[in-house]
């Protein structure tokens, strides 16, 4: 199983919760879509991911996300996910994060900034060359070379693996639906 994580966009200081999209696939074939609300700048994304994957009894697979923090600074704790449900996580980032800017933003806006920063810093980020192009990858519970193979096997269109691409398409579509209904 492959699990793509996507998050809807939000309006700062207006939206308190946003939909978290969890796309479960077998290889590249979609099997199930689950949507849960998470708090903007909260710390519940990890709980929701663990809850869904535990309920679905998914014991093998790879979680893929486009960012470590989602819904603002709602940080995915991949170490906790791996420790609790034994599923590795691959973060496929668009660019290397500016950790000084991240640290300053966390200090400015969160009383628990040290906890959030520790989660972010626990994930080693590196530039990796694959057959599909150059990526900035972070991974927990899986060797970086194995992560590269999975990306290559699950990427059909463009540079993003299908489970993640599908989750992002649905999240963007949901964002548009929500905004147009207001």
pLDDT digits (tens, 9 = 90+) for 88-104: 999 999 889 999 999 99
Q: Is 113 inside a domain boundary?
A: no
Q: Is 92 inside a domain boundary?
A: yes
User: What percentage of the chain carries pLDDT values higher than 90?
Assistant: 77
* Residue tagged 């070379």 (tokens): 145
Please give the DSSP secondary-structure letter assigned to residue 13. Answer: T
**pLDDT at res. 37:** 95
**pLDDT at res. 182:** 62
Q: Is 119 inside a domain boundary?
A: no
pTM of the model: 0.92
pLDDT, tens digit, 9 for 90 and up, residues 142-153: 999 999 999 989
Q: What is the mean pLDDT of residues 150-177?
A: 90
45/109 Cα distance (integer angstroms): 18
User: What percentage of the chain carries pLDDT values higher than 70?
Assistant: 99
* Angle of CA points 113, 87, 25, to nearest 5°: 110
Q: Is 102 inside a domain boundary?
A: no
**pLDDT at res. 52:** 97
Q: Is 80 inside a domain boundary?
A: yes
- Which pair of tokens denotes residue 167? 């989750």
75/73 Cα distance (integer angstroms): 6
Give residues with Cβ within 8 angstroms of 45, minimum separation 6: 7, 20, 38, 70, 71, 74, 75, 76
Residue 10's pLDDT band (cuts 50, 70, 90): confident
More confident residue, 181 or 173: 173
Give residues with Cβ within 8 angstroms of 107, minimum separation 6: 113
Q: What is the mean pLDDT of residues 166-170?
A: 94
Q: Is 110 inside a domain boundary?
A: no
**pLDDT at res. 135:** 86
Give residues with Cβ within 8 angstroms of 27, minimum separation 6: 2, 153, 154
Largest Cα span, the chain: 45
Domain range for 83: 2-96+124-180
Q: Is the pLDDT of residue 24 over 90?
A: yes
CATH number of the structural domain spanning residue 150: 3.30.2170.10
The domain total for the chain is 1
Residue 171's pLDDT band (cuts 50, 70, 90): very high
Q: Is the pLDDT of residue 180 over 80?
A: no
Q: Is 106 inside a domain boundary?
A: no
């Amino acid at each position: 199983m492959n699990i793509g994580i996507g998050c809807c966009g939000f309006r700062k200081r207006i939206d308190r919760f946003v939909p978290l999209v969890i796309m479960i696939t077998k290889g590249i074939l979609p099997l199930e879509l689950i949507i849960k609300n998470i708090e903007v700048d909260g710390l519940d994304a990890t709980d929701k991911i663990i809850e869904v994957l535990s309920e679905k009894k998914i014991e093998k697979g790879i979680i893929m996300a486009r960012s470590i923090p989602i819904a603002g600074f709602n940080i995915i704790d991949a170490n906790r996910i791996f420790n609790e449900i034994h599923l590795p996580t691959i973060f496929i980032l668009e660019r290397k994060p500016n950790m000084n800017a991240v640290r300053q933003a966390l200090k400015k806006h969160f009383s628990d900034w040290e906890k959030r920063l520790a989660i972010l810093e626990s994930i080693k980020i590196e530039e990796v060359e694959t057959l599909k192009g150059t990526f900035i990858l972070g991974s927990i519970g899986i060797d970086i070379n194995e992560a590269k193979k999975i990306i290559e096997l699950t990427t059909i269109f463009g540079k993003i693996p299908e489970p993640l691409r599908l989750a992002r398409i649905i999240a963007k579509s949901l964002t548009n639906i929500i905004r147009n209904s207001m």
